[in-house]
Amino acid sequence: MPPIPEKDQSCTRYTAAHLTTLPFTSEFRYCVKLLGKPVHEATFKTRVTADKSVRCVLVGDLAQGRKAQREVAYQIHHHKPEFLVALGDIVYSNGRISQYMAYFWGTYNNVAEPGR
């Protein structure tokens, strides 16, 4: 089945400089700006040295914004993994960017309490 054409969708793709000299085991705060105004702020951690353990999460069938998925997102947030691997089942041949933004980002970002 061919993809269903979508009209009037837009998204913004941001790029950053390639950072090559960041220290290991460090945390950095960043801000994404559009026309000089902040649109997103967050932190990231650099990789750890070989003598330190790493926690990660692997998740599939990520989101439709359901309560059970929000509870999984809360557990991920609670355990503070160094990274998450998205195993798939989040992109389809139809749908709108606004749905992806609401279901995926709304479920997995800024998870303050279970089921929220």
| 23 contacts 46 by C-beta, under 8 angstroms | yes
Residue 33 is predicted with a pLDDT of: 87
Comparison of pLDDT for 42 and 11, the residue scoring more = 42
pLDDT tens for 49-108 read 999 998 999 988 776 778 888 888 888 888 888 888 888 776 666 667 777 777 777 777
What is the predicted pLDDT for the residue at 7? 63
Whole-model pTM: value is: 0.60
Closest CA to 101 of 48, 65, 59: 65
